[in-house]
Amino acid sequence: MRPGGRSHEVVIVGGGVIGCSIAYHLARRGQAVTVLERGKACAEASAAAAGMLGAQSEMEDTGPLFQWARRSRAMFPQLAEELKAITGIDIGLVREGLLNVAFSDVQEAELRAREKLQRAAGEQADWLSAAAAARLEPALSQAVRGALYLPDDGQVEAPLLAQAFVQAARQLGANVQEFAQVQGLLTEQGRAIGVMTSDGPLYSDCVIVASGAWSGQLLAGIGVKLPVYPVKGECFSVLTPKPVLRKTLFTPGCYIVPKAGGRLLVGATVVPGSYDRKVSLAGLAELLDRAKQLMPAIGEAEWEKAWSGLRPQTPDGLPYIGKVPAVEGLYAACGHYRNGILLSPITGKVMAELVLGGAGEQGAVSQLELIFEPSRKELHIIEAAH
Ligand SMILES: Cc1cc2nc3c(=O)[nH]c(=O)nc-3n(C[C@H](O)[C@H](O)[C@H](O)COP(=O)(O)OP(=O)(O)OC[C@H]3O[C@@H](n4cnc5c(N)ncnc54)[C@H](O)[C@@H]3O)c2cc1C
């Protein structure tokens, strides 16, 4: 214990779905862990998310992020049971699949190419004519060219998943402190020794930065450049008297996700570079136009609410997950952009294994260290982790 401060073994900065998944996985392995969240836990991007598990719909190639994503998607059924058993929270896992819809020749060609790629990678993906797609989802617009049906891209209730991680981590012994702002990272001779909070220093053997779109700011304070930036996304939801969709409808610039009780979640705008979370009427109007193109009857639904969140993005679109080079004991897990809900189980598991010394998935540790290399775009961060 250092003079003037408390000592903790692992401190996680940020109580979003990523920080709380890591805390859950560490606590499950018996590790003492403290999460410091400057506001309410899981009230930022993790509460705003639509909850799609778009391992196939979100990935344009079958590169490292796709491999990472499909492994994470496969973890959900067991995770849902575990979290339910510990907390009683049902994360709302629905495995009805997704229709990735084309309106033009160009979109059709792109989706048919993706069908080939994903089938070659062993995934299920089926191109459907407009008529076949309409048989699956009669509310779909008649203007569609067809759709790529991805039966394994499910969804969860993102805010419930995030809450379940917080609660499960707490029940397993993690100390989740809300309204605890971290003002800076503390280092000594190339080692992380803790964090500075509004209540003074808090020392620890290991610090994990999982602060979403704000991660780069904290690391910049100790001279580490991690270019994570915010991309605002606005959403709205409407209610229908009875369920009108079973599968998620997805097209560039808009998706409609059917939730329990006839609720439809419509997202999302893409506004890079701003920490402003205001919901703009222009953004909502644009979304509504696109949603009506996908499903004309949505115009008759009852308004529920609108909201926004800040996706943490990186210049090459890959998240930063692993040890921060040159600072012993310092780790980062951030930059999950549009897929932090999908990627939260695997990020939590692998980070816990990394911090605890690499037990678990063979190869994961050395591969994760590599993703901080400048040339990481060419690196296959996951393949060697099987
Ligand atoms: C509109 C929208 C729709 C989305 N839809 C999907 C989807 O369908 N599927 C999917 O997989 N993903 C989706 N995402 C992406 C997903 O929400 C994010 O990738 C994920 O929530 C990121 O989690 P996080 O924990 O890194 O960040 P956050 O949830 O933002 O959490 C970071 C936390 O760190 C805290 N923090 C920051 N700085 C400090 C500090 N100095 N001290 C203490 N605490 C601090 C913040 O208060 C915050 O609570 C969507 C995002 C948005 C905005």
Atom of ligand 1 nearest to the CA of 43: 49
Which pLDDT band, with edges at 50, 70 and 90, does 7 fall under? low
Give the max Cα distance, the chain. Answer: 71
Say what the pLDDT of residue 176 is: 97
Does ligand 1 lie within 6 Å of residue 219's CB atom? Answer: no
Q: Kindly state if the Cβ of 50 falls inside 6 Å of ligand 1.
A: yes
Q: Which residues pair with 194 in a beta bridge?
A: 186, 203
pLDDT(148) > 50 = yes
Q: Which of 12, 18, 234 to mutate to test the pocket of ligand 1 (most atoms within 8 A of CB)?
A: 18
How far apart CA 136 and CA 129 sit, in angstroms, is: 11
Residue 228: the pLDDT is 92
Which has the minimum average pLDDT: 41-55, 301-315, 321-335? 321-335
How far, in Å, from the CA of 253 to the mean position of ligand 1?
A: 20
pLDDT category at 371 given cuts 50, 70, 90 is: low
Instruction: Kindly tell me if the per-residue pLDDT of 386 is higher than 80.
Output: no
More confident call, 245 vs 319: 245
Q: How far is CA 274 from the centre of its chain?
A: 19
Structure tokens of 262?
């006839």
- Please answer whether residues 133 and 147 qualify as being in contact, where contact means their C-beta atoms are separated by less than 8 angstroms: yes
Q: Is the pLDDT of residue 188 over 80?
A: yes
Question: Rounded to the nearest whole angstrom, what is the distance from the C-alpha of residue 47 to the centroid of ligand 1?
Answer: 7
Locate the ligand 1 atom nearest the alpha carbon of residue 234 and give its number: 1
Rg of the chain over CA atoms, in angstroms?
A: 21
Atom of ligand 1 nearest to the CA of 307: 1
Look at ligand 1, atom 50, and give the residue with the nearest C-alpha: 49
Among 35, 211, 222, 275, the mutation site with the greatest number of ligand 1 atoms within 8 A of its Cβ is: 211
Q: Distance from the CA of 311 to the center of ligand 1, in angstroms?
A: 6
On the question of pLDDT at 299 being above 80, the answer is yes
Tell me: pLDDT of 340 over 80: yes
Predicted confidence at residue 369, as pLDDT, reads 46
**Higher per-residue pLDDT: 361 or 331:** 331
Three-state DSSP string of 130-191: HHHHHHHCCCCCCCCCEEEEECCCCECCHHHHHHHHHHHHHHCCCEEECCCCEEEEEEECCE
Give the Å distance between the CA of 218 and the centre of ligand 1.
16
Nearest ligand 1 atom, CA 311: 53
* pLDDT at residue number 360: 46
For residue 365, what pLDDT is reported? Answer: 43
Does residue 23 have its Cβ closer than 6 Å to ligand 1? no
How many Cα atoms occupy the beta-carbon half-sphere of 236 within 13 Å?
24
Instruction: Report the distance separating Cα 330 and Cα 378, nearest Å.
Output: 24
Residue 363 banded pLDDT, cuts 50, 70, 90? very low
Q: Distance between CA 160 and CA 259 in Å, rounded?
A: 13
Does residue 113 surpass a pLDDT of 60? yes
**Structural domains of the chain sorted by starting position, each given as residue range(s) with its CATH number in brackets:** 6-53+159-227+316-385 (3.50.50.60), 96-153+229-313 (3.30.9.10)
What pLDDT score was predicted for residue 8?
Answer: 63
Compute the distance from residue 54 Cα to the ligand 1 centre, in Å: 16
Share of the chain above pLDDT 70, in %: 90
Q: What is the pLDDT of residues 97-108, one digit of tens each?
A: 999 999 999 999
What confidence category does residue 310 fall into, taking pLDDT thresholds of 50, 70 and 90? very high
Atom index in ligand 1 nearest the CA of residue 233 equals: 1
Average per-residue pLDDT for the chain: 90
Lowest-confidence region among 41-45, 109-113, 228-232, 362-366: 362-366
pLDDT grade for 274, boundaries at 50, 70 and 90: confident
CA of 295 to the centre of ligand 1 (A): 28
**Is 309 a residue whose pLDDT tops 50?**
yes
